[in-house]
């Protein structure tokens, strides 16, 4: 499906785009509130500045997608593949990213407050200045992640792997450190 066709169908009231192939599509600034894009292929797509609030992207392939400045408030991205995706300044407040693959994702100054990141892979992710306050990172893999200046206040780090992570200047409730795996 082409980006223009998706926009026309959305404007006509269609919301279910399960398993659609939008690889490399330019959806910059698109309003896709409430869309169902479960299992969609959006690898390399440009969704920067898009409104994706209340959107379902479960198990979607967003490998290498540009999602900078997009708003995902209230969305479900459980199991999504975001390997190498650009999410700089994106709003992922309260979003479900459990079991998502965010390996080497670029998430500079991204709002992930109260996000569900249980068992997510954030290996080598750049979370410089990200807001992870109140997020659930239970058993998340943050190996070699850059958490410089990130806010981890009230985050749940039970069983999280922080091996080799850069925590320089990280805002972190000291009582959380013993519960995380930093070896």
Q: Which residues contact 126 (CB under 8 A, 6 or more apart)?
A: 104, 105, 106, 107, 108, 145, 146
Question: CB–CB of 144/126 below 8 Å?
Answer: no
Per DSSP, what are the bridge partners of residue 57? none
∠ at Cα 182 (180, 183), nearest 5°?
Answer: 135
pLDDT of the chain, 183 residues: tens digit per residue:
999 999 999 999 999 999 999 999 999 999 999 999 999 999 999 999 999 999 999 999 999 999 999 999 999 999 999 999 999 999 999 999 999 999 999 999 999 999 999 999 999 999 999 999 999 999 999 999 999 999 999 999 999 999 999 999 999 876 455 455 555
Q: What is the pTM of this model?
A: 0.92
> b/e string for 121-138 if b means 16 or more Cβ within 10 A?
bbbbbbbbbbbbbbbbbb
């Amino acid at each position: 499906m082409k980006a223009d066709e998706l926009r026309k169908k959305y404007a006509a009231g269609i919301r279910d785009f399960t398993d659609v192939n939008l690889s490399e599509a330019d959806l910059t600034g698109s309003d896709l509130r409430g869309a169902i894009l479960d299992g969609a292929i959006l690898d390399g797509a440009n969704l920067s500045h898009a409104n994706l609030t209340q959107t379902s992207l479960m198990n979607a392939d967003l490998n290498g997608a540009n999602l900078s400045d997009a708003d995902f408030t209230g969305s479900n991205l459980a199991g999504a593949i975001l390997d190498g995706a650009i999410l700089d300044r994106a709003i992922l407040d309260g979003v479900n990213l459990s079991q998502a693959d965010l390996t080497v994702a670029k998430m500079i100054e991204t709002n992930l407050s109260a996000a569900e990141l249980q068992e997510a892979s954030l290996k080598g992710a750049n979370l410089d200045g990200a807001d992870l306050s109140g997020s659930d990172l239970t058993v998340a893999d943050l190996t070699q992640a850059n958490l410089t200046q990130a806010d981890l206040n009230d985050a749940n780090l039970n069983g999280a792997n922080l091996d080799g992570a850069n925590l320089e200047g990280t805002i972190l409730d000291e009582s959380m450190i013993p519960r995380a795996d930093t070896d």
